[in-house]
Amino acid sequence: MNSLNVIKIGGKVIDDEQKLDTFLKNFVSIEGPKILVHGGGSIASKMGERLGITPKMIEGRRITNTETLELITMVYGGLVNKKIVSRLQSLDVNATGLSGADLNIISAKKREPKPIDFGWVGEVSNVNTEWLTRFLKQGVIPVLAPLTHDSKGSMLNTNADTIASLVATALTTEFETKLTFCFEQEGVMNKGKLITEMNLLLYRHLKDTGIVTNGMIPKIDLGFSALKSGVQKVSVRSFEAVSQSISGTNLIS
């Protein structure tokens, strides 16, 4: 069974031209089939401000009303996605940009409005691996935007970490999958020192003591869920170290 790397890159790296170029050059150097899942929240917020659309956040999550849905569809599915695809083409690799609606790859259900109504936000209900597998076997790199669809004609804003985790899990039937979350830091830090390995017991301790907080919590939760569901390796690491086999924080069962 072939090895597959599913890699998620955060919006702050994408927003920096130099960091993005560094990441993509390292990403391309990874051998074998791979999928790139990208965020883009910071870019969407900046574009929204230019258009007079003020972002509304609750607990770090974006409220997606109809106006905001139009904005993020343009930014995630258009500006950011095609920017990454064109950069990959310049590095002599064949890539295709996709949202969850394309080829029915990722369908979702609109999140329930209680206790908080987040609007057009989707919870993934199905990952269709047929076309992803076809692309991968043809040497094409799928670049997935954090957008899904509700099978009723509407796009949905969906967390990129969630998409990366569930895509990696769904493809375990075809590949030995590895899931990597990339961002600006070396990995999970404790008092300035990198935690190279983290099991569930250590994670719970770090969360209870406030060392692992905010957006890192759902990322790690998704990582452990992916491990439990058959993904072979999960790591959190710097965008500069994405191609290194030993780096960052590795989750262990």
Chain segment 3-24, per-residue pLDDT in tens: 999 999 987 899 999 999 999 9
Residue 60 binned pLDDT confidence (cut-offs 50, 70, 90): low
Backbone phi, psi, residue 179, to 5°: -115, 130
- Tell me which DSSP letter residue 173 carries: G
Reply yes or no on whether the pLDDT at 214 is more than 90: no
Task: Give the helix ranges, DSSP H, for 29-141.
Answer: 41-50, 66-74, 81-90, 130-137
Say which range, 55-69, 93-107, 108-122, has the weakest mean pLDDT.
Answer: 55-69
Backbone phi, psi, residue 96, to 5°: -135, 135
The whole-angstrom separation of Cα 76 and Cα 202 is 35
The whole-angstrom separation of Cα 8 and Cα 12 is 12
Average pLDDT estimate for 109-122:
93
Q: Cβ distance 188 to 206 under 8 Å?
A: yes
Burial of 244 (0-12, 13-18, 19+ CB in 10 A): middle
- Four-way CATH pick for 3-180: 3.30.420.10, 3.40.50.720, 3.40.1160.10, 3.20.20.70: 3.40.1160.10
Q: Cβ distance 120 to 157 under 8 Å?
A: yes
Residue 59 binned pLDDT confidence (cut-offs 50, 70, 90): low
Q: Say what the pTM is.
A: 0.95
Q: Cβ distance 21 to 84 under 8 Å?
A: no
- Tell me which DSSP letter residue 146 carries: S
Q: Cβ distance 87 to 143 under 8 Å?
A: no
Distances (CA, A) of 233 to 163, 222, 236: 16, 12, 10
Best CA proximity match to 81, nearest among 123, 36, 129, 45? 36
